Amino acid sequence: MSLLDVKNLSVEFRTAHGNFRAVDNVSLTVEKSEVLAIVGESGSGKSVAMLAVMGLLPWTATITADVMAVDGKDMLNMSPKARRNVIGKDIAMIFQEPMTSLNPCFTVGFQLGEALQAHLKLNRREKKERIINLLEQVGIPAPEKRLSSFPHQLSGGMNQRVMIAMAIACQPKLLIADEPTTALDVTIQAQIIDLLLKLQQDTGMALVLITHDMGVVAETAQRVSVQYAGQRIEMQSVKGLFSEPHHPYTQALLSALPERAVGKKLASIPGVVPGQFDRPDGCLFSPRCAYATPRCRTESPVTANADVGFALCHYPLKEGNPEGHPGKEEAVA
Amino acid sequence: MNNETVLTATDLARHYPIAAGAFKPKLSLKALAGASFTLQRGKTLAVVGESGCGKSTLARLVTMIEPATSGSLVIGEEDIATASLKALAHLRPKVQIVFQDPYSSLNPRQRVGAALEEPLLVNTDLNASERRARAQEMMSNVGLRPEHFDRYPHMFSGGQRQRIAIARALMLEPDILVLDEPVSALDLSIQAQVLNLLTELQERMNLAYLFISHDLSVVRHIADNVMVMYLGRPVEQGPAAEVFANPSHPYTQALLSATPVADPNHISERVVLKGELPSPMDPPSGCPFNPRCPKGFEKCYADRPILQNISDNVAVACHLFD
Amino acid sequence: MTDTLAPMPEELDNRKTTRLALLIEFWNYFKENKGAVAGMWFFLFVCLVAIFADVIAPHTAVEQYRDALLVPPVWQEGGSWKFILGTDPVGRDMLSRLIYGSRYSLFVGCIVVSLALGVGIIVGLISGYVGGIVDTLIMRVMDVILSFPALLLALALVAILGPSLVNAMIAIAIVQQPHYVRLTRAAVMGERTKDYVTAARVSGVKTPRLMFSTILPNCLAPLIVQGALSFSTAILDAAALGFLGMGAQPPTPEWGTMLAEAREFILRAWWVVTLPGLAILLTVLAINLMGDGVRDALDPKLRRS
């Protein structure tokens, strides 16, 4: 049984201009002790999907799914009270902006204590010991002194470590990290990524890493799920993804990396991600795809099978070429 | 395409006096010191570093938003380093800037066309239709539809707004364009579009770029020369190809190894630096990098190393090379 | 796949940006607040009454009917259709006085808000943009003004200048300065450090244009809301001054002055006191509701989507 099992998750937001589908039939699974990366650009719905699992979306969101279960427990129809016992204990989340994710009015020690209080029954002495323990685990020097520090007295990297400490306080089975290093400097980013991986290996928890940085994905993930405009368009092992992407978007994204540039020009993808007002018929990537055919522009693709990385494409790529493609002339038509 | 030098900076420094309390002597925050470099037409100098390294201060000095505290900054023929801002008004058209955040660098209450026309309105005496024609021409130069002239910034995506910001910066046909992390806030595919646009515009208009970034993969791609900064001072400087192939300063090495490589088969020999970035208010004694340097020795705690050439083109500030 | 300079194929946001379209969009947000819409209709009603007073009012505001003193309203015993809302102690028709009185109240509100806004914005802009010693001086002056109870200060000013409606308006405008100055200053200080202001400076925009064309339009939203709300405060203050005999002088049919004249008749002839009071109450309430609605509609954070 997978630790996290999501099938056909959809999230719609009610807006003044009509309903907006932020997540469109996304499925994924996370096994115990696995590192899964969810990659996508803005508008891909990667954060929204995970926030839906955690139950952190605003009231304007409608969440539907065939299955949404953490360790066998159904999260979709759970009462808020039961959900509060699971969130923070079995499954935890850390966010992008460490400077704003901690409450500026309370000390670090107090906030960590809160996280423990909600789920574990410890007396004061035990709590204090555990907090110091946690701060050591996340690599904060002189933890006893830090207990009475406020978030603004610590740097971004330190704050992120405190967030991680809060997240692992109750030894969760699954940790979701939503762009944890985007707001940090490069050398601090390396420290935090190393910390997350070390914790993952030491405690055996699973890690879901949401990011748009392909370098971070390559260095940390075992499996990758790629999202575009709210849909999951590919999912496979990390080595496979980088050597043989099966969806044209993944292929285009990888060739847009500065490292893969040939000459002065980068291979960019023309156009922009569809937003609320300009969703195309058929395949959502078709306006920007080099291989798009009239069929792509009218007919929505279905998910292919595992040997082509579950690519959401009519003509998934095999060894860089679209399978079953009618040819260039038809594409241009 | 000629490569004439359009800017020469020597030992630029910028200090901020900080009040430490009513009865204590004023402290001095050394945001930037010892920066010497040149900018040539058609070439890109990348300034690389993390928070507190002084790259934003450098941008403000070069765009004449603030005066330097000491040193010389020669643009064209004039040394403007410590001149008053009024005296510099006629030099403004020569240096323009593009900011990092496309969401706050455009006036939300100003239509895009008006934003593009404003530099012309203030600096030239073209009439309204001439200004409009120039603005629309610039919009197509950066890949935007001229029909979008009357739109407000919030109706554009991040990548489009950055194009507008670039267009606005180029309205006065500057010699130098300062780019302060222009693609950091953009998605990868949009980043590629904007970088291509910048390359193309540089060739077409023979611009000198001062490209500030913390993203080494982007810098590797676009820079001709690179200056690595730490706590307000350059620590390594030289042609990008040489510096990236053979980084000499331990900080440069750490920075390069910390940058994630988009290749799962790449085994990183990671130099993970311990400790935090120091605060510029309280710099360590001796070499500012010594608390975190994996190769530090006694001399590093005592003396600050000076920038010196270790080869024809590359200069390093490190006691390992004394 | 390397189309960097090809124009964007998709229309990202096609909404029209003409002034009319923006107004319609504002109205769509505004009308979600039912209270604000009700307030707006009432306020418009009062404006119409003020404009067409000469046509609507059955009598003039000053004509005294010696034979009809303290006539009760039409629905009470002794009332008549000639004086629908009754008459006051010297025989003047209440309805007509209320109708003409709306002119004064609206006049007061408009003048006070214009004065206070005009001067307050400029002072606040300078204070926020220039900073330093100028800012400190201005804010200390504002603190002094704020430390007096508003009505007391207005009274003192009117006592010096002499009791009249115009002097009352000047006094109230002065007393409201600190609110506008502080609001503008805070907004300017917030916007001053933003990138687009720096970009304008680098383009060569000089200080006056920077202050008024670049920064000020971005500070207007809270000021508009404050303007709506202080409209009602101005009416209340003018009424209070009138009640104390320091504002509009009798026989001016200003609602507060009408209240002052009628103090002794609270038990004998309730309509002389209650009706002007009700007029003030309803108008102020309507404007406050409207101001709330404007604030909600202008603030992007409070919007639904």
- pLDDT for C10: 44
Residue of A14, A269, A272 lying closest to C12 (CB–CB): A272
Q: Do A272 and C304 touch (CB under 8 A)?
A: no
Q: Report the residue count for chain A.
A: 333
Determine what percent of chain A is predicted with pLDDT higher than 70.
Answer: 98
pLDDT of A28 over the 70 cut: yes
pLDDT of C134 over the 90 cut: yes
- pLDDT for A165: 92
pLDDT of B26 over the 80 cut: no
- pLDDT for B87: 72
Q: Chain B residues with CB inside 8 Å of C205's CB?
A: 118, 122
Q: A303-325 pLDDT, tens per residue?
A: 888 888 899 998 898 888 888 88
**pLDDT grade for A77, boundaries at 50, 70 and 90:** confident
Contact of C59 with C94, CB cutoff 8 Å: no
Q: Chain A residues with CB inside 8 Å of C13's CB?
A: 277
**pLDDT grade for C135, boundaries at 50, 70 and 90:** very high
Q: Is the dihedral of CA B138, B141, B147, B150 positive or negative?
A: negative
- pLDDT for B207: 94
Q: Chain C residues with CB inside 8 Å of B200's CB?
A: 4-5
Q: How far apart are the C-alpha atoms of A68 and A66, rounded to whole Å?
A: 7
- pLDDT for C1: 31
Residue of C9, C10, C305 lying closest to A16 (CB–CB): C305
Q: Mean pLDDT, chain B, as a whole number?
A: 88
Q: Mean pLDDT, chain C, as a whole number?
A: 84
Q: How far apart are the C-alpha atoms of C224 and A121, rounded to whole Å?
A: 53
Q: Which residue has the higher pLDDT, C297 or A160?
A: A160
Residue B258, Ramachandran bin (φ over 0: left; ψ between -120 and 50: alpha; else beta): alpha
Q: Chain C residues with CB inside 8 Å of B144's CB?
A: 7-8
Q: How far apart are the C-alpha atoms of C250 and B32, rounded to whole Å?
A: 71
Cβ of residue C232 closer than 8 Å to a chain B Cβ: no
Residue of A60, A287, A290 lying closest to C1 (CB–CB): A290
Q: Do C4 and B97 touch (CB under 8 A)?
A: no
Q: B135-174 pLDDT, tens per residue?
A: 999 999 898 888 888 888 888 888 899 999 999 999 999 9
Question: How many cross-chain Cβ pairs, A to B, lie less than 8 Å apart?
Answer: 124
Which of A193-202, B77-86, C52-61, C155-164 is the least confident region?
Answer: B77-86
Cβ of residue C10 closer than 8 Å to a chain A Cβ: yes
Cβ of residue C52 closer than 8 Å to a chain B Cβ: no
Task: Please write down the long-range contacts of A42-45, taking CB distance under 8 Å and 24 or more positions apart.
Answer: A42/A212, A42/A273, A42/B158, A42/B187, A43/A229, A43/A230, A43/A273, A43/A274, A43/A275, A44/A227, A44/A228, A44/A229, A44/A230, A44/A273, A45/A11, A45/A227, A45/A229, A45/A230, A45/A231
- Choose, out of A266, A278, A285, A288, the residue to mutate when testing the contact with B (most B CBs < 10 Å): A266
**pLDDT grade for A330, boundaries at 50, 70 and 90:** low
Q: Which residue has the higher pLDDT, B20 or B187?
A: B187
Q: Do B192 and A189 touch (CB under 8 A)?
A: no
For the segment C89-111, the average pLDDT, to the nearest whole number, is 89
Q: What is the pTM of this model?
A: 0.84
Closest CA to C36 of C246, C252, C220, C302: C302
- B233-239 and A73-74 as β-strands: parallel, antiparallel, unpaired? unpaired
Q: Do C8 and B197 touch (CB under 8 A)?
A: no
Cβ of residue C303 closer than 8 Å to a chain B Cβ: no
Q: How far apart are the C-alpha atoms of B32 and B59, rounded to whole Å?
A: 11
pLDDT of C11 over the 50 cut: no
Which of A216-225, B211-220, C77-86 is the least confident region?
Answer: C77-86
Residue of A60, A269, A271 lying closest to C10 (CB–CB): A271
b/e sequence C40-67, b meaning 16+ C-beta within 10 Å: bebbeebeebbeebeeebebebeebeee
- pLDDT for C9: 40
Residue of A60, A268, A287 lying closest to C10 (CB–CB): A287
What's the burial of C200, exposed, middle or buried (CB within 10 Å: 0-12/13-18/19+)?
buried
User: In which element (H, E) is residue C135 found?
Assistant: helix C132-147
**pLDDT grade for B225, boundaries at 50, 70 and 90:** very high
3-state class (DSSP) for residue B259: coil
Helix residue ranges, H only, B171-249: 188-205, 216-222, 240-245
Query: Chains with 3 or more CB pairs closer than 8 angstroms to A?
Result: B, C
**pLDDT grade for C6, boundaries at 50, 70 and 90:** very low
Cβ of residue C13 closer than 8 Å to a chain A Cβ: yes
At C42, list the tokens. 């009432």
pLDDT of B234 over the 60 cut: yes
Q: How far apart are the C-alpha atoms of A304 and B180, rounded to whole Å?
A: 43
Q: Do C9 and A278 touch (CB under 8 A)?
A: no
- pLDDT for B44: 95
Q: Is the dihedral of CA B52, B58, B64, B68 positive or negative?
A: positive
- pLDDT for B22: 65
- pLDDT for C5: 40
Residue of A60, A265, A271 lying closest to C8 (CB–CB): A271
**pLDDT grade for B86, boundaries at 50, 70 and 90:** confident
- pLDDT for A85: 85
For the segment A210-229, the average pLDDT, to the nearest whole number, is 92
Q: How far apart are the C-alpha atoms of C102 and C104, rounded to whole Å?
A: 5
For the segment B20-35, the average pLDDT, to the nearest whole number, is 78
pLDDT of B1 over the 70 cut: no
Residues 6+ away with beta carbon under 8 Å from A130: A116, A122, A169
Q: C228-261 pLDDT, tens per residue?
A: 888 888 888 888 888 887 777 878 888 888 887 7
- pLDDT for A329: 61
Q: C74-88 pLDDT, tens per residue?
A: 888 888 888 888 888
Q: How far apart are the C-alpha atoms of B272 and B290, rounded to whole Å?
A: 14
For the segment B180-208, the average pLDDT, to the nearest whole number, is 91
Q: Is the dihedral of CA A86, A89, A91, A95 positive or negative?
A: positive
3-state class (DSSP) for residue B171: coil
Contact of B48 with B218, CB cutoff 8 Å: no
Q: How far apart are the C-alpha atoms of B76 and B97, rounded to whole Å?
A: 17
Chain C nearest CA to B234, separation (Å): 26
pLDDT of C67 over the 50 cut: yes
Q: Chain C residues with CB inside 8 Å of A265's CB?
A: 2, 4
Q: How far apart are the C-alpha atoms of B61 and B35, rounded to whole Å?
A: 11
- pLDDT for C301: 53
pLDDT of C305 over the 70 cut: no
**pLDDT grade for C4, boundaries at 50, 70 and 90:** very low
